[in-house]
Amino acid sequence: MSDTDAPRPALALFDFDGTLTDSESFPDFLRRVVPRSRLYWGRVLVAPLVLAYRLRLLSGNTVRAAILRIAARGLPVHAVAAAGERFARDVVPTTLRPDMLAQLRWHRDHGDVVVVVSGTFDLCIRAWCEAEGVALLASALEQRDGRLTGRYAGAQCAGEEKVRRIRAVYDLSAYAQIHAYGDTVEDLPMLALADVAVYRGAPWPQGSCAGAAAG
């Protein structure tokens, strides 16, 4: 059989927080790297933003960017990177949903190309993805002179940005089928790429998920 006659693999796209896990990595990881004094007054500063988000007055992207600016600005890159390695090794495995982990491994073991597409920081889940043998597209942190600036390096990997990154790396026409798994409205553009999409454990599209709140 020639290379052109070889069967095409499928592409499986997985959101991370809330889809593969039962918790959110963004706040959990920051709590582990941000000094206690900054956590204390930072909670006071971000409380109005969180309330506005819950009232749907601010987007998740806006709130995350504001929290990051307060929490991470000036932190040493080497310390945060080391904390990310520990987080991937010690914390991530305790948060995984057994059914979704099994689904990811099923795709991987059947020869599908598996990609985690996540808005969380690449440095705190990259080691886990490498250990599982899957690819990662994720948000990154900007750094300067060995310290974090408190900003994202480029756009957050959420919403339409997930689609942009997927298309930039993968030729979707090269795959026999596309599967996608997500749990918030920020995943819906990615799910729209798929031949087989799953939203919060159920087939998508459904009338109920299009208006679901991000969580």
What is the pLDDT, as a whole number, of residue 154? Answer: 95
Q: Calculate mean pLDDT across residues 81-108.
A: 96
- pLDDT for 119-171, tens place per residue? 999 999 999 999 999 999 999 999 999 999 999 999 999 999 999 999 999 99
What is the pLDDT, as a whole number, of residue 211? Answer: 36
- In single-letter form, the type of residue at position 104 comes to L
Do residues 8 and 176 lie in contact, with contact meaning Cβ atoms separated by under 8 Å? yes
Compute the mean pLDDT over every residue in the chain, rounded to the nearest whole number. Answer: 89
Neighbours of 89 (CB within 10 A): 12
- pLDDT for 101-121, tens place per residue? 999 999 999 999 999 999 999
Record the pTM. Answer: 0.88
- In single-letter form, the type of residue at position 177 comes to Q
Least reliable range by pLDDT among 44-53, 70-79, 87-96, 140-149: 44-53
Q: b vs e for 24-59, b when ≥16 Cβ sit within 10 Å of the residue's Cβ?
A: ebbebbbeebbeeebeeebeeebeebeeebeeeebb
- Lookup result for tokens 């299009």: 210
pLDDT band of 91, cuts 50, 70, 90: very high
Q: Calculate mean pLDDT across residues 60-89.
A: 92
**What domains lie within the chain, and their CATH numbers?**
3-204 (3.40.50.1000)
- Judge whether residue 49 has pLDDT over 90: no
What is the pLDDT, as a whole number, of residue 3? Answer: 54
- Which positions ≥6 away from 53 have C-beta within 8 Å? 59, 60, 62, 63
- CA dist 41 and 18 (Å) reads 27
Q: Calculate mean pLDDT across residues 2-28.
A: 87
What is the pLDDT, as a whole number, of residue 73? Answer: 92
What is the pLDDT, as a whole number, of residue 215? Answer: 33
C-alpha distance from residue 198 to each of 13, 83, 109, 150, 195 (Å): 10, 32, 19, 34, 10
Q: Calculate mean pLDDT across residues 181-188.
A: 95
Half-sphere exposure of 57 (CA within 13 A, CB side): 6
Q: Calculate mean pLDDT across residues 32-53.
A: 80
- CA dist 144 and 120 (Å) reads 20
- Would residue 33 be called left, alpha or beta, if left means φ above 0 and alpha means ψ between -120 and 50 degrees? alpha
What is the pLDDT, as a whole number, of residue 209? Answer: 39
